[in-house]
A and B are shown apart, each in its own frame.
Chain A
Amino acid sequence: MYEAGTNWIDATELNTRLFRVEAIRAIVDTQTETLRRALKRMPAPEPQPGFVDRALANAAREPATRSRPRAGLAHLAGRWETWIGAALGGAVATVLMLILLRPLDGVDQPVPAPMGISMALNETRAIDVLIDSERTLEDATIRIVATGSVVLDGFENEREIGWRTHLDRGSNVLSLPVVARSTGQGQLVAVIEHEGRTRRMIINLTVRDT
């Protein structure tokens, strides 16, 4: 008999437990190795032709003559054939334009840095969501979810609205009237779904009692 804390267990049971621990460890090790092999098989592309030459040459240039990297959020848009940008404007005048460029357009052009979006309590503001598609999308679904301190004007009792629509190739602008209903944080989430694939954009908003 062996003493283990305040409990007594016999040698056979102890051996059984140790054997189980060893068996579990062996399974975990095998799982880890299996996972590792799968990760190593995961494709990672080589740099595009010419990239290494360009990048090395660009690094050696004087700062003023360097081509600029894509800035802000443009790189995120570059992942998708269709991307979503947001243009935010006030009721009277456009305050801020945050537009994500197409991947090819964005290579050498700076994109304005995103700004914090604050609203005054009870303010209604149109937030334009620009959906730019590189091809026509039939039967796409758009869902808009407003959470926290903001709601969609006319849909005060519905946090989520959705509908099926047709998206043209190029720019499609969706104007969302947002009402700041209480102070604090809010979010506006726009989700575009097409043929089982989904893209989502989140806009964080702060409502202040001013």
Chain B
Amino acid sequence: MFLKKRARPTHADAAAEFDNLLRDHVPALYRAAYRWTGAVDRAEDLVQELLVRLYPKLDELRGLDRVRPWALRVMYRIFVDQVRRERSSPVQFGADAREDSGEDEGHEFIDPAQGPVELLEQQLTQERVVAAWESLGEEHRVVLSMHDIEDYSLPELSEIMGVPIGTLKSRLHRARAKLRDLLATERFQSLDRV
């Protein structure tokens, strides 16, 4: 009995298989990247970098039961590296932290007589949520995005982010608190273009 020699896949075959394995996941990965980065071009770059890193791992990809969490984990590491590099840069760009003078005519005053849930509901216009989201730090955006939006469980997140569950719980708690704080106390202008 002879063991049949396995044909070496051609480059075209490998590319087609890679496409087949990843194509369905790219939109979801892109949306995650967009939530983390807050910008179309950054999300595109992040996903592109992810795919470039995954292509040489085709053999590993082939054997996976669930491709998306695995890809998400790789993307998260790329993102963390990018953020670290940016923070070490001497030149940083970002939205201005808006001083709350309370004099802006668009400022919405919150009725203190209302209960906390009602207050929160009042603050949750989509525009304000988006503005608050953009003001969150990357760490908070990532954990809220994966847990509260994409519904990954804490054990799954622990695997993806390489962080203990206890740390994740407190990070999630801080992220929600920060978001509530931003919604409650900040005056949001449309975070658009100059």
A residues whose Cβ falls under 8 Å from a Cβ of B:
27, 30-32, 34-36, 38-48, 51-52, 55-60, 66, 69-70, 73-84, 86, 98, 100, 103, 106, 114-117, 133, 137, 140, 191-194, 196-205
Which secondary structure characterizes the binding site on chain A? mixed
Q: Is the CB of A116 within 8 A of B90?
A: yes
Complex Cα distance, B41 from A103, in Å, reads: 8
Contacts of A36 in B (CB 8 A): 148-149
Rounded to whole angstroms, the CA-CA distance of A55 and B120 in the bound complex is 40
Known contacts A116-B90, A191-B96, A204-B92; is-contact A30 B117 (Cβ 8 Å): yes
B41 touching A205, Cβ below 8 Å: no
Residues from chain A with a CB closer than 8 A to the CB of B18 are 56, 59-60
- Which of chain B's residues has its CB closest to A78's CB? B41
Alpha-carbon distance A80/B42, docked complex (angstroms): 12
Stretch at the interface among B1-9, B32-40, B152-160, B162-170: B32-40
Contact B124 A202 (CB under 8 A): no
A100 to B38, CA, bound (A): 18
With contact pairs A44-B35, A60-B14, A80-B193 given, residues A199 and B96 touching in the complex (Cβ less than 8 Å): yes
Q: Separation in Å of the B51 CB from the closest CB of chain A?
A: 4
Smallest CB separation, A37 vs chain B (Å):
8
**Within 8 Å CB of A76, what residues of B?**
39, 42, 86, 93-94
Q: Which residues of B are found within 8 Å of A114, using beta-carbon distances?
A: 89-91
Q: Is the CB of A197 within 8 A of B194?
A: yes
